[in-house]
Amino acid sequence: MKVVGITSCPSGVAHTYMAAEALKLSGEKLGMEVLIETQGGAGVENQLKQKDIDEAVCVVLVNDVALEGLDRFKGKKSPENGRVRPD
């Protein structure tokens, strides 16, 4: 099972990367492949490939600021709100 997501915080430093790492480790414990894109102080890192997004069962968005590129997830299930709906 594959899950993709994005993490981001206001300062874009520690919490962005801590959340990404926690999601990956939790996924490993459950036998899931978790791919996380970070949108932090260094910009977008580990940008998700459309193929991975298409194969994912859901997308996890962990953010306190607006995210870039949400249109890539249109129609994907998301634990936070049921479905991702780009602004």
User: Which amino acids are annotated catalytic?
Assistant: 9
Tell me the three state secondary structure of residue 56.
coil
CB neighbours (10 Å) of residue 9?
Answer: 20
